[in-house]
Amino acid sequence: MRRTCYRSRSIYDESSGILVDPTSVTLDITYGNEIGFVSDTAGPYTYSGPDSTPAAGTIWRTGTGQFTAWWQVPSSTPAGIYVANWSVGYSGDTFLVVENFDVSSVFTPVVSADTGYWTGSISCQPSWSASAFTIPLGGVDSNGTAWMLQKVEGWDSPPTAVGQVIQRSADHGGWAAAQYYGPRMITLTVMASAPTQALRDVARAQLQQAVPFSDLGTFIYNEPVPKLAYVRRNATSTIGETYPTLCDVIFSIPLVAPDPRKYAVAAQTESSVTNTIVTPTTLPSSGSPAAWLPVTFAAGVPPGTQGVIAVNSGTFETRPTITVQGPITSPSVINGSTGQAVTFTGLVLTASDTLVLSMDSRQAFKDGVFVPADSSSAWFVIEPGTSVIYMTGTGAAGSVLSMTWASAYV
């Protein structure tokens, strides 16, 4: 990867001490010694006139008597002390001005579009923007800025925030009260390596937009099994910036994930349509063929209902969003694996009505308007493994049960 180095020089009139424009400016870059003693490493670069524009391998004028050169440093350039040899023509004479500079910190190897473990993204979709702001970690953006994810802290386990062991009265040991995870605290160390100093500052602004301070954004970490967390910046901290070179910036990004779970990047959606319920068949007790009791049916979903099979491939419970599309009266959504049910006695859904149940917030909305579930309802989660979710109700022929969820990890 090639990097950029800038060298600048100001030209003063010796008698007046004011900045003046010379008749010519040339720059040779050498290694270890001045021009004439060693061959050029880069250059010569020549100032071509007052209308020159910034470009690699050129000198351009930034003001009266002020000039800047742009050296695109190859990745193979050895570290060490280099010399900028400025040859300046003024009042019929040529003056040589030299300056030493260190190239050891100019080149930092950055893996562009790394496809290993250290890739991912930070993104935020503001309500006012038509598109999301996204930082491609381990990749290169449209400006040619390479983004490296150097360190991830807080990805191992969320803290236990609530719960304790209560000492037994007049006895040894204690009672294990319920414990719950608290919000996950994550700190990212990210380096942006830009082609120019101006694009470095563009990258700084981009990161500020991609890390939300009020809304929730997503941090995706491409482990062998990619996962994401819903995050925003920690209100008690700031995004720290350090500048190893003019074109590089290293960010320390403090994040908080209110939901401590890490989710599979790809969510799953399943749905089923309730068939027309037919009249039960009377089983013959004699003759040919005969049915002998006991008779067994498939477990999980009662006859006359339609179910959805949900697979949580993670290590922790996840909370789905369930949608019921009418027609149906008094719908009940049931976890066939645990027997828990969320019921709505007397609620009528026509064919154009939709009931949305959030198992996370434990709320339901009919066509966007809140409706309470029965007080006896048990809001359920999807544990790791396979669960069967089904729906019952009257007049349900043609109704649709849909569920969306993502496998969860801690």
Query: Tens of pLDDT along 138-169?
Result: 888 888 888 999 899 999 888 877 778 888 88
Structural tokens at position 91:
């009042």
**For residue 109, pLDDT beyond 60:** no
Nearest to 183 by CA among 204, 158, 157: 158
Distance CA 146, CA 151 (A): 16
Q: Would you say residue 220 has pLDDT above 50?
A: yes
SS3 breakdown of the chain: % helix, strand, coil, rounded to 5? 5, 45, 50
**Residue ranges of domains in the chain, CATH in brackets:** 3-102 (2.60.40), 120-156+181-264 (2.40.30), 268-278+303-409 (2.60.120.860)
Name 35's Cβ contacts closer than 8 Å, sequence gap at least 6.
Answer: 28, 83, 85, 96
Segment 171-201, tens digit of pLDDT: 999 988 888 889 999 999 999 988 888 899 9
Residue with the bigger pLDDT between 70 and 232: it is: 232
Q: What is the pLDDT of residue 295?
A: 43
- In sequence order, the 6+-apart residues with CB closer than 8 A to the CB of 270 are 308, 309, 310, 402, 403
Give the H or E element holding residue 210.
Answer: helix 197-210
CA distance 134 to 69: 33
Mean pLDDT score across all residues of the chain: 84
- pLDDT-based confidence at 303, cuts 50/70/90? low
Token pair belonging to 118: 């250290």
Q: Are 344 and 371 in contact (CB under 8 A)?
A: yes
Band the pLDDT of 301: cuts 50, 70, 90. low
Over range 51-71, report the average pLDDT.
Answer: 81
Cα distance between residue 139 and residue 144, in whole Å: 9
Residue 104 pLDDT: 63
pLDDT digit string, tens, across residues 38-47: 888 888 998 8
**What's the rounded mean pLDDT across residues 52-66?**
81
Which pLDDT belongs to residue 313? Answer: 93
Predicted pLDDT of residue 325: 93
287: confidence class by pLDDT, cuts 50, 70, 90: low
What per-residue confidence (pLDDT) applies to 116?
41
Question: How far is Cα 7 from Cα 62, in angstroms, rounded to an integer?
Answer: 12
Comparing 338 with 109, the larger pLDDT belongs to 338
Smallest Cα–Cα separation from 122: which of 223, 209, 215?
209
Q: Output the DSSP codes for 275-344.
A: PPPPPPPPPPSSSSS---S-----SSS-TT-EEEEEEE-SSB-B--EEEEESSEEEEEEEETTT--EEE-
Lowest mean pLDDT among 112-126, 209-223, 340-354: 112-126
pLDDT > 90: percent of the chain: 41
Q: Please give the Cα distance from 395 to 274 (Å, whole number).
A: 10
The structure's pTM equals: 0.64
Is the four-CA dihedral 196, 200, 201, 205 of positive or negative sign?
positive
By percentage, how much of the chain surpasses pLDDT 70? Answer: 87
Which of 234-238, 322-326, 361-365 has the lowest average pLDDT? Answer: 234-238
pLDDT mean over 126-138: 87
